[in-house]
Amino acid sequence: MDDLSDNANLVLQALSYLGKDSIDDQTILQCANRLDDRDMKGLNAAITHIPGWLADVIRRMQQIKYGQVRKQA
């Protein structure tokens, strides 16, 4: 996960700090709006290295940004 942008890394850290029970749709929307395509691509690549609940949050951010879940590249 060394290739994550600072912005994507910051979002991951913030989500981890909040914890799965404190993340709502508004939080996911705010995070998704702060990330560009490069950030999202990096997070998508990191999905296999993070806890499942956090991967689910990233997939929800993808749905918000792109209207669908993108396949892993």
Q: For residue 36, give Cα distances in angstroms to 14, 19, 21, 32, 51.
A: 17, 23, 25, 8, 22
Overall pTM surpassing 0.95 (yes/no): no
* 9-64 per-position pLDDT tens digit: 999 999 999 999 999 999 999 999 999 999 999 999 999 999 999 999 999 999 99
Overall residue count recorded for the chain in this entry: 73
| Chain centroid to CA 48 | 12
In the chain, count H helices and then E strands. 4, 0
